[in-house]
């Protein structure tokens, strides 16, 4: 049995579908706006327990990428172009907390690592990577950031950290 609709019924159905599409679109737009307003409110909030927005500094990251790989300075070799490697694990002594899954910490917590060492740093246990190299990455980050803020070159900082490891016999 076929159902035949009159022209008037078909036009009524088309009009109802158009209204439904407009209402659905209006709901999606309103939901997006509400979500954006919620995020803006969280960022603006200074309430305890709320994460402050990540501090970004592209000039500092460019400065870091011009330095030699700190791991290569200690263990030797060359592992590819230098990248700004963010430290992910927490260090209560330095006041650095884990930024959370899929989030980078502030840009002041970076070290210069070649692409090979950078991949190795994040491939397994990050703390074990730094212990194997013999460098305290938090202290290195703070020394590099201080040199940057003072308008100094970062190469002497890298050499100082590498020399301290090599003379203490921390790296084999």
Residue 83, SS3 per DSSP: strand
Residue 152, SS3 per DSSP: coil
DSSP state, residue 91: B
Residue 114, SS3 per DSSP: strand
What pLDDT is attached to residue 94? 60
Q: Mind listing the pLDDT tens digit for each residue in 93-133?
A: 665 555 555 566 777 888 899 988 888 888 878 888 888 88
Instruction: Give the pair of three-digit tokens for residue 124.
Output: 């397994």
pLDDT above 60 (res 172): no
Q: Mind listing the pLDDT tens digit for each residue in 8-49?
A: 888 998 999 999 999 888 888 887 877 777 666 655 655 555
Calculate the average pLDDT of the chain: 79
If you search the block for the tokens 């921390």, which residue do you land on? Answer: 170
Q: How far apart are the first and last CA of the chain?
A: 86
- The pTM score is 0.62
- CB-count burial class (<10 Å; 0-12, 13-18, 19+) for 158: buried
What pLDDT is attached to residue 101? 54
DSSP assignment string, 14-80: HHHHHHHHHHHHHHHHHHHHHHHHHHHHHHH---TTPPPPP---HHHHHHHHTSPPHHHHHH-S--S
- Separation of alpha carbons 126 and 105, rounded Å: 14
């Amino acid at each position: 049995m076929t159902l035949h609709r009159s022209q008037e019924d078909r036009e009524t159905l088309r009009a109802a579908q158009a209204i439904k599409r407009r209402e659905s679109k209006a709901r999606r737009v309103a939901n997006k706006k509400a979500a954006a307003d919620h995020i803006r409110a969280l960022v603006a909030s200074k309430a305890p327990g709320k994460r402050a927005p990540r501090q970004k500094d592209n000039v500092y990251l460019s400065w870091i990428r011009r330095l030699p790989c700190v791991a290569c300075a200690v263990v030797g070799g060359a592992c590819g172009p230098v990248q700004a490697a963010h430290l992910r694990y927490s260090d209560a002594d330095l006041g650095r907390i884990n930024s959370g899954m899929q989030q980078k910490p502030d840009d002041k917590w970076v070290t210069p690592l070649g692409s090979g060492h950078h991949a190795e740093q994040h491939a397994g246990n990050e703390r074990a990577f730094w212990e194997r190299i013999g460098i305290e990455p938090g202290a290195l980050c703070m020394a590099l950031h201080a040199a940057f803020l003072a308008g100094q070159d970062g190469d002497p900082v890298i050499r100082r950290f590498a020399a301290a490891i090599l003379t203490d016999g921390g790296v084999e």
